[in-house]
Amino acid sequence: MIIKTADFICSNTQVSKLPPPVKPEYAFIGRSNVGKSSLINMLVGKKGLAKTSQTPGKTQLINHFLINENWYLVDLPGYGYARISKSKKEDWDKFIRNYLNKRESLQCVMVLIDSRLEPQKIDLEFCNMLGEKGLPFVLVFTKADKQSSIKTDQNVAKFRKALLASFEEVPDIFITSSEEGTGKEDILNFVHGINQN
Ligand code: GTP
Ligand code: MG
Protein backbone atom coordinates (compact mmCIF):
# COMPACT_ATOMS: atom_id res chain seq x y z
CA MET A 1 0.00 0.00 0.00
CA ILE A 2 1.25 3.46 -0.85
CA ILE A 3 0.77 6.13 1.80
CA LYS A 4 -0.32 9.31 0.07
CA THR A 5 -1.48 11.29 3.08
CA ALA A 6 -1.13 11.00 6.85
CA ASP A 7 -2.74 13.69 8.97
CA PHE A 8 -3.13 14.27 12.68
CA ILE A 9 -6.83 14.55 13.45
CA CYS A 10 -7.31 14.74 17.23
CA SER A 11 -6.13 13.84 20.73
CA ASN A 12 -8.71 12.66 23.23
CA THR A 13 -9.46 10.68 26.35
CA GLN A 14 -13.17 10.20 25.80
CA VAL A 15 -14.53 7.68 23.33
CA SER A 16 -17.60 9.87 22.80
CA LYS A 17 -15.39 12.64 21.41
CA LEU A 18 -13.49 10.50 18.90
CA PRO A 19 -14.14 10.79 15.15
CA PRO A 20 -17.33 8.97 14.05
CA PRO A 21 -16.61 5.21 13.98
CA VAL A 22 -17.09 4.85 10.24
CA LYS A 23 -13.53 4.26 9.03
CA PRO A 24 -11.43 1.21 9.98
CA GLU A 25 -8.78 1.82 12.63
CA TYR A 26 -5.72 0.11 14.07
CA ALA A 27 -4.52 0.90 17.58
CA PHE A 28 -0.88 0.69 18.70
CA ILE A 29 -0.32 -0.29 22.29
CA GLY A 30 2.46 -1.72 24.44
CA ARG A 31 4.74 -0.81 27.29
CA SER A 32 5.88 2.79 27.60
CA ASN A 33 8.88 3.47 25.36
CA VAL A 34 8.46 0.25 23.33
CA GLY A 35 8.33 2.34 20.13
CA LYS A 36 4.62 2.83 19.29
CA SER A 37 4.86 6.42 18.08
CA SER A 38 8.11 5.74 16.19
CA LEU A 39 6.50 2.80 14.40
CA ILE A 40 3.55 4.92 13.30
CA ASN A 41 5.94 7.51 11.88
CA MET A 42 7.97 4.82 10.11
CA LEU A 43 4.86 3.24 8.57
CA VAL A 44 3.65 6.52 7.11
CA GLY A 45 7.11 7.91 6.32
CA LYS A 46 6.62 11.11 8.35
CA LYS A 47 9.14 11.54 11.14
CA GLY A 48 7.43 14.06 13.40
CA LEU A 49 3.81 12.97 12.95
CA ALA A 50 3.46 11.12 16.26
CA LYS A 51 5.50 12.62 19.09
CA THR A 52 8.34 10.37 20.28
CA SER A 53 10.78 10.62 23.17
CA GLN A 54 13.64 8.79 24.84
CA THR A 55 11.74 9.27 28.09
CA PRO A 56 8.82 6.88 28.71
CA GLY A 57 5.35 8.34 29.13
CA LYS A 58 5.44 10.68 26.11
CA THR A 59 2.10 9.74 24.56
CA GLN A 60 -0.65 10.52 27.07
CA LEU A 61 -3.83 10.64 24.98
CA ILE A 62 -5.67 8.70 22.28
CA ASN A 63 -4.27 10.16 19.04
CA HIS A 64 -5.99 9.64 15.71
CA PHE A 65 -4.05 9.90 12.44
CA LEU A 66 -6.04 9.68 9.22
CA ILE A 67 -4.26 7.75 6.47
CA ASN A 68 -5.05 8.14 2.77
CA GLU A 69 -8.27 9.79 3.94
CA ASN A 70 -9.89 6.45 4.63
CA TRP A 71 -8.44 4.68 7.67
CA TYR A 72 -6.91 5.56 11.05
CA LEU A 73 -3.74 4.70 12.89
CA VAL A 74 -4.24 5.28 16.61
CA ASP A 75 -1.37 6.04 18.99
CA LEU A 76 -2.09 5.21 22.62
CA PRO A 77 -0.23 5.83 25.90
CA GLY A 78 1.96 2.96 27.05
CA TYR A 79 1.22 0.68 29.97
CA GLY A 80 3.58 -0.28 32.77
CA TYR A 81 5.27 3.07 33.25
CA ALA A 82 6.28 3.14 36.91
CA ARG A 83 7.07 6.83 37.20
CA ILE A 84 3.65 8.37 36.88
CA SER A 85 1.26 9.03 39.72
CA LYS A 86 -1.16 6.30 40.69
CA SER A 87 -4.15 8.42 39.77
CA LYS A 88 -2.76 9.21 36.30
CA LYS A 89 -2.03 5.53 35.76
CA GLU A 90 -5.60 4.68 36.77
CA ASP A 91 -6.92 7.38 34.40
CA TRP A 92 -4.89 6.00 31.48
CA ASP A 93 -5.96 2.42 32.25
CA LYS A 94 -9.56 3.51 32.39
CA PHE A 95 -9.71 5.41 29.12
CA ILE A 96 -7.64 2.81 27.27
CA ARG A 97 -9.93 0.02 28.49
CA ASN A 98 -12.95 2.09 27.61
CA TYR A 99 -11.55 2.72 24.14
CA LEU A 100 -10.79 -1.00 23.62
CA ASN A 101 -14.24 -2.05 24.88
CA LYS A 102 -16.29 0.50 23.01
CA ARG A 103 -14.62 1.46 19.76
CA GLU A 104 -16.72 -0.26 17.10
CA SER A 105 -14.45 0.65 14.22
CA LEU A 106 -11.35 -0.88 15.84
CA GLN A 107 -10.22 -3.63 13.44
CA CYS A 108 -7.13 -4.90 15.18
CA VAL A 109 -5.00 -4.10 18.22
CA MET A 110 -1.31 -3.97 17.34
CA VAL A 111 0.47 -5.12 20.54
CA LEU A 112 4.07 -3.92 20.53
CA ILE A 113 6.69 -6.01 22.30
CA ASP A 114 10.35 -5.08 22.81
CA SER A 115 12.24 -7.73 20.82
CA ARG A 116 15.26 -7.41 23.12
CA LEU A 117 13.44 -8.79 26.13
CA GLU A 118 12.41 -12.23 27.30
CA PRO A 119 8.61 -12.52 27.64
CA GLN A 120 7.35 -9.97 30.16
CA LYS A 121 4.45 -10.74 32.47
CA ILE A 122 2.76 -7.41 31.77
CA ASP A 123 2.71 -8.05 27.98
CA LEU A 124 1.39 -11.59 28.39
CA GLU A 125 -1.31 -10.33 30.75
CA PHE A 126 -2.30 -7.65 28.25
CA CYS A 127 -2.61 -10.27 25.47
CA ASN A 128 -4.68 -12.48 27.77
CA MET A 129 -6.99 -9.56 28.52
CA LEU A 130 -7.48 -8.97 24.77
CA GLY A 131 -8.14 -12.69 24.29
CA GLU A 132 -10.76 -12.66 27.06
CA LYS A 133 -12.52 -9.72 25.44
CA GLY A 134 -12.35 -11.46 22.06
CA LEU A 135 -10.52 -8.51 20.48
CA PRO A 136 -8.43 -9.33 17.40
CA PHE A 137 -4.75 -8.56 17.89
CA VAL A 138 -1.33 -9.13 16.35
CA LEU A 139 2.14 -9.01 17.90
CA VAL A 140 4.63 -6.46 16.64
CA PHE A 141 8.18 -6.94 17.90
CA THR A 142 10.07 -3.64 17.94
CA LYS A 143 13.69 -2.40 17.89
CA ALA A 144 14.99 -5.42 15.98
CA ASP A 145 17.99 -3.33 14.85
CA LYS A 146 19.27 -3.33 18.41
CA GLN A 147 20.45 -6.95 18.46
CA SER A 148 21.19 -9.91 16.20
CA SER A 149 18.34 -11.54 14.32
CA ILE A 150 19.17 -14.78 16.18
CA LYS A 151 18.47 -13.08 19.51
CA THR A 152 15.26 -11.54 18.15
CA ASP A 153 14.09 -14.92 16.86
CA GLN A 154 14.84 -16.52 20.23
CA ASN A 155 12.77 -13.94 22.10
CA VAL A 156 9.92 -14.23 19.58
CA ALA A 157 9.94 -18.02 19.97
CA LYS A 158 9.84 -17.69 23.76
CA PHE A 159 6.94 -15.25 23.60
CA ARG A 160 5.07 -17.52 21.21
CA LYS A 161 5.59 -20.46 23.58
CA ALA A 162 4.44 -18.42 26.58
CA LEU A 163 1.26 -17.37 24.75
CA LEU A 164 0.46 -20.97 23.89
CA ALA A 165 -0.10 -21.56 27.61
CA SER A 166 -3.39 -19.65 27.24
CA PHE A 167 -4.13 -19.47 23.48
CA GLU A 168 -4.78 -22.31 21.06
CA GLU A 169 -2.98 -20.48 18.31
CA VAL A 170 -0.64 -17.54 18.23
CA PRO A 171 -1.72 -14.41 16.31
CA ASP A 172 0.21 -12.96 13.38
CA ILE A 173 3.70 -11.77 14.27
CA PHE A 174 5.63 -8.87 12.73
CA ILE A 175 9.28 -8.08 13.38
CA THR A 176 10.09 -4.41 12.99
CA SER A 177 12.71 -1.71 13.27
CA SER A 178 11.61 1.90 13.00
CA GLU A 179 15.24 2.85 12.50
CA GLU A 180 15.69 0.60 9.47
CA GLY A 181 12.16 0.38 8.12
CA THR A 182 11.93 -3.36 8.77
CA GLY A 183 8.38 -4.75 8.70
CA LYS A 184 6.83 -1.72 7.01
CA GLU A 185 5.54 -3.51 3.94
CA ASP A 186 4.26 -6.51 5.89
CA ILE A 187 2.23 -4.36 8.28
CA LEU A 188 0.84 -2.12 5.54
CA ASN A 189 -0.14 -5.20 3.50
CA PHE A 190 -1.84 -6.66 6.55
CA VAL A 191 -3.85 -3.46 7.05
CA HIS A 192 -4.67 -3.28 3.35
CA GLY A 193 -5.99 -6.85 3.45
CA ILE A 194 -8.43 -6.00 6.26
CA ASN A 195 -9.46 -2.66 4.74
CA GLN A 196 -10.39 -4.41 1.49
CA ASN A 197 -12.96 -6.66 3.24
P1 GTP B 1 5.42 6.26 25.03
O2 GTP B 1 4.58 7.17 24.19
O3 GTP B 1 6.21 7.01 26.04
O4 GTP B 1 4.65 5.12 25.63
O5 GTP B 1 6.56 5.59 24.11
P6 GTP B 1 6.45 4.93 22.66
O7 GTP B 1 6.12 3.48 22.81
O8 GTP B 1 5.56 5.73 21.77
O9 GTP B 1 7.97 4.99 22.16
P10 GTP B 1 8.64 6.05 21.16
O11 GTP B 1 8.20 5.80 19.77
O12 GTP B 1 8.48 7.42 21.72
O13 GTP B 1 10.17 5.56 21.23
C14 GTP B 1 10.88 5.48 22.46
C15 GTP B 1 12.38 5.51 22.18
O16 GTP B 1 12.78 4.34 21.48
C17 GTP B 1 12.82 6.69 21.30
O18 GTP B 1 14.07 7.15 21.77
C19 GTP B 1 12.95 6.08 19.92
O20 GTP B 1 13.89 6.74 19.08
C21 GTP B 1 13.44 4.67 20.25
N22 GTP B 1 13.01 3.70 19.24
C23 GTP B 1 11.74 3.43 18.86
N24 GTP B 1 11.71 2.47 17.91
C25 GTP B 1 13.00 2.12 17.68
C26 GTP B 1 13.63 1.19 16.79
O27 GTP B 1 13.01 0.45 16.02
N28 GTP B 1 14.99 1.11 16.86
C29 GTP B 1 15.74 1.88 17.70
N30 GTP B 1 17.06 1.71 17.70
N31 GTP B 1 15.18 2.77 18.54
C32 GTP B 1 13.84 2.90 18.53
MG1 MG C 1 4.32 7.27 22.21
**End-to-end alpha-carbon separation of the chain, Å?**
15
Return the domain boundaries, the chain.
6-196
Q: pLDDT tens digit string along 100-136?
A: 999 999 999 999 999 999 999 999 999 999 999 999 9
The fold adopted by the segment(s) 6-196 is: Rossmann fold (3.40.50)
Question: Does the interface predicted TM-score (ipTM) exceed 0.95?
Answer: yes
Q: pLDDT tens digit string along 142-159?
A: 999 999 999 999 999 999
Under 8 Å between Cβ of 1 and 59 = no
Which residues are in the CB-under-5-Å shell of ion ligand 2? 36-37, 58-59
At 129 the pLDDT is 95
Residues 103 and 62: their CA atoms lie apart, in Å, by 12
In sequence order, the β-bridge partners of residue 173 are 139
Residue 17 alpha carbon to ligand 2 centre in Å? 20
* Cβ-based burial of 90 (10 A; exposed 0-12, middle 13-18, buried ≥19): exposed
- The pLDDT mean for the chain works out to 95
Task: Please give the number of the atom of ligand 1 that sits closest to the Cα of 38.
Answer: 11
Residue of 166, 168, 165, 144 lying closest to 154 (CA atoms): 144
